[in-house]
Amino acid sequence: MTGFLDNAEIEIPCPKCGKKSKQRLGRLNNNSSIRCGFCGTIIELKTDGPGGLAQAKKSAEKSLADLKRSLGKLGR
């Protein structure tokens, strides 16, 4: 289950160019900063607070839970 979540992608908005880079959660667990794929800016990631990594993880977990729930309904 942890591996599945690690492959979930979240979008990190770049403060400089405003474009969103998709990053895998598993990668973000080991890195506190990412490089914007569009302009090359290094984006320091916040771990908590609004727009922080903890919140992003929570929403990814929630959408996975929703997905599992709807899959479970289909299976019956």
| Binding-site ranges for Zn ion (CB under 5 A) | 14, 16-17, 36, 38-39, 41
Closest to Zn ion by CB, 4 or 38: 38
| Angstrom distance (rounded) from CA 55 to CA 48 | 7
Nearest to 43 by CA among 8, 68, 18: 18
| Angstrom distance (rounded) from CA 55 to CA 29 | 13
> In whole angstroms, how close is the CB of 18 to Zn ion at the nearest point?
7
> In whole angstroms, how close is the CB of 17 to Zn ion at the nearest point?
3
> In whole angstroms, how close is the CB of 28 to Zn ion at the nearest point?
17
